[in-house]
Amino acid sequence: MRTWIQDIGKKENGEVKIYGWVETRRDHGKIIFIDLRDKTGIAQVVFGTEDKELYQKANKLRNEWVIKIEGTVKKRPKGMENPNLTTGNFEISAKNLEILSEAKTLPIAIDKDGYEINEEARLRYRYLDLRRKRIFKNLKCRHLAFKFIRDWLTNKGFLEVETPILGKSTPEGARDYLVPSRLERGKFYALPQSPQQYKQLLMVAGIERYFQIARCFRDEDTRGDRQPEFTQLDLEMSFVEEHDVLSLVEALFTDLVKKIFPEKQITKIPFPRLDYQEAIKQYNSDKPDLRKNKNNNNELSFVFIVNFPMFEWKKESSYAEASEGKEKRLAGRSLGEGRWDAVHHPFTRIKNEELRIKNRGEFIKYIKENPQELIAHQYDLVCNGYEIGGGSIREHNPEILEAVFEIMGHNKKDIREKFGHLLDAFEYGVPPHGGIALGLDRILMILMNEPNIREVMAFPKTGDGRDLMMGAPSEVDKNQLKELGLEIKSRRKVGTPTEASEKTKR
Ligand code: ASP
């Protein structure tokens, strides 16, 4: 049976079999030392000259070779202990060595943090970069945090439900990744920008408390620390008010930090709630950094920003699907060319409750005439100056929801085509509901003191969306295209600007 390296101390004078990678080899003439590494730690293995054949074999070993050792666990001689290793009081006196695979010299060094190495090289050889202690630790913390979240929410009566990856576009303000359908040529699935509509439909289905550690896809031009695909903690609850959602998130994060990141201090619990207008006035930002001491790595200052405006005037349509025709229809507005867009998303409930008391017709008339006046039931969670999540209480009245789509420039036909399923569902007994989505990569980046989200993901892409290790995106076989009824009219080389980035430049 294999012994994990971390456990060798429990087997003093016993025989063990250990497996792993050669971290270093030190040749002291009559004696060879190997530091052997598995995922749990490092052990020193000793080869003497008494067994010539074994000694010769050990002499051939090089860094990163994969080997199996059989030997006896011994206490190290006095004064030879290594306090830097958890196994540092012990060593293995080797009796047998099996070389399982050899390794070329690695193209990147893996013994340090790796920040100093060119990132392209790190990403191209990510499977080696992941051998680095720091990144392994990040992946482990990520796993522990996800497990904690799953257990915590399960205890609170939440059900994790997977929603489709091949679906229909949900507007979250970015461009969709499209997947062509082979069976219905000319039609496309959209990869989810978020599971927004599915989770709302799960509320109609009576699930009441849903969550999902969900992969989301947004096709955006290179912008800072973004990734084309990222992971959200997505959740939705029925029969709740804004404060229910906020208190739940606050309790979850407080417990998560306490349990998995105990070295971190939260500046203030309960997390402050700050009005959007107040945040802009006081900090000139809707994601203020409220840490008392910004040099202290272990301080976490959470703040909820609430009471966002419902709509903002967008000079350019932010939805990829906004056609030129729609732009022209709206061009008559006094604010210049553009359209009203939801600050969060259209499914958000308008807060102006005093107006709702009027009859519905009057309320709808008012919101259509005064979109700039409306406050949304929207909230963001900010930590140390980063927006780490956002959500809202939803509009569950189909007539009002339809009016919101109209304000955003959709005509009736459009609305039916794009959102008919949701409007229909809301006719069959929909509970009032609300939720939030939290960007887990970004949260983990902050919790692990990393400078960007790529450091907490196993296989991130470059800023311009390339997977350097696998070589994606890549060209596909002509026959694959033919089956899909597609033809490539023009190609763009890596690094040349997209139409969208050209437009913003002009
Ligand atoms: N779907 C939203 C987002 O991804 C979050 C929400 O409203 O729950 O930002």
Hey, CA dihedral for 253, 230, 145, 206, is it positive or negative? positive
Is any atom of ligand 1 closer than 6 Å to the C-beta of 409?
A: no
Which residue has the least CA distance to atom 7 on ligand 1? 391
Ligand 1 pocket: which of 169, 229, 232 to mutate (most atoms within 8 A of CB): 232
Is any atom of ligand 1 closer than 6 Å to the C-beta of 378?
A: no
Query: For residues 79 and 64, what is the distance between their CA atoms, to the nearest angstrom?
Result: 28
Ligand 1 pocket: which of 163, 172, 394 to mutate (most atoms within 8 A of CB): 172
Average pLDDT over residues 48-58: 96
Is any atom of ligand 1 closer than 6 Å to the C-beta of 390?
A: yes
From ligand 1's centre to the CA of 435, what distance in Å? 8
With beta carbons less than 8 A apart as the criterion, state whether 379 and 390 touch. Answer: yes
Is any atom of ligand 1 closer than 6 Å to the C-beta of 436?
A: yes
Six token digits for residue 344: 């969060």
| Secondary structure of 250-281 in HEC code, one letter for each residue | HHHHHHHHHHHCCCCEECCCCCCEEEHHHHHH
In this predicted structure, what is the pLDDT of residue 354? 80
In this predicted structure, what is the pLDDT of residue 498? 61
Contacts of 247 (CB under 8 A, 6+ apart): 270
Query: For residues 165 and 142, what is the distance between their CA atoms, to the nearest angstrom?
Result: 22
* Residues facing residue 33 across a β-bridge: 26, 46
Query: For residues 88 and 9, what is the distance between their CA atoms, to the nearest angstrom?
Result: 9
From ligand 1's centre to the CA of 12, what distance in Å? 55
Is any atom of ligand 1 closer than 6 Å to the C-beta of 212?
A: no
What digits encode the pLDDT tens for the residues 251-274?
A: 999 999 999 999 999 999 999 999
pLDDT above 70 coverage of the chain, percent:
93
Which residue has the least CA distance to atom 3 on ligand 1? 437
For residue 394, which atom of ligand 1 is closest to its CA? 7
In this predicted structure, what is the pLDDT of residue 426? 98
Q: Please give the full DSSP string across 152-190, using - where no structure is assigned.
A: HHHHTT-EE----SSB----SSSBPPEEE-STTTT-EEE
In this predicted structure, what is the pLDDT of residue 226? 87
Among candidate residues 157, 187, 175, 138, the one with its CA nearest the CA of residue 417:
187
In this predicted structure, what is the pLDDT of residue 421? 95
Average pLDDT over residues 42-63: 97
Q: Is the pLDDT of residue 420 over 90?
A: yes
Average pLDDT over residues 232-253: 98
Is any atom of ligand 1 closer than 6 Å to the C-beta of 439?
A: no
**Which is more confidently placed, 334 or 288?**
288
Interaxial angle between packed helices 133-155 and 242-260, expressed in degrees from 0 to 180 and rounded to the nearest 10: 140
Is any atom of ligand 1 closer than 6 Å to the C-beta of 435?
A: yes
Q: Is the pLDDT of residue 403 over 60?
A: yes
Query: For residues 472 and 468, what is the distance between their CA atoms, to the nearest angstrom?
Result: 7
Is any atom of ligand 1 closer than 6 Å to the C-beta of 391?
A: yes
Rounded to a whole number, what is the largest CA-CA distance in the chain?
A: 96
222: helix, strand or coil: coil
pTM reported for the whole predicted model: 0.92
- Could you identify the residue written with the tokens 């792993």? 20
Mean pLDDT across the chain, nearest whole number? 92
From ligand 1's centre to the CA of 234, what distance in Å? 7
Counting every residue, how long is the chain? 506
Q: Is the pLDDT of residue 327 over 80?
A: no
In this predicted structure, what is the pLDDT of residue 334? 44
Q: Please give the full DSSP string across 74-142, using - where no structure is assigned.
A: EEPPTT---TTSTTTTEEEEEEEEEEEE--PPPSS--SS--TTS-HHHHHHTHHHHTTSHHHHHHHHHH
Ligand 1 pocket: which of 169, 194, 396 to mutate (most atoms within 8 A of CB): 194
Q: Is the pLDDT of residue 65 over 60?
A: yes
What digits encode the pLDDT tens for the residues 463-502?
A: 889 999 999 999 999 999 999 999 999 887 766 666 554 4
Query: For residues 359 and 397, what is the distance between their CA atoms, to the nearest angstrom?
Result: 13
**Which is more confidently placed, 297 or 248?**
248
What digits encode the pLDDT tens for the residues 468-479?
A: 999 999 999 999
Is any atom of ligand 1 closer than 6 Å to the C-beta of 192?
A: no
Q: Provide the pLDDT confidence category of residue 333 given band limits of 50, 70 and 90.
A: very low
Interaxial angle between packed helices 360-369 and 398-407, expressed in degrees from 0 to 180 and rounded to the nearest 10: 20
In this predicted structure, what is the pLDDT of residue 306? 98
With beta carbons less than 8 A apart as the criterion, state whether 169 and 150 touch. Answer: no
Is any atom of ligand 1 closer than 6 Å to the C-beta of 381?
A: no
Helices (H), 331-382: 353-356, 360-369
What backbone torsions phi and psi does residue 147 show, to the nearest 5 degrees?
-65, -40
Which residue has the least CA distance to atom 8 on ligand 1? 436
Among candidate residues 263, 421, 410, the one with its CA nearest the CA of residue 340:
410
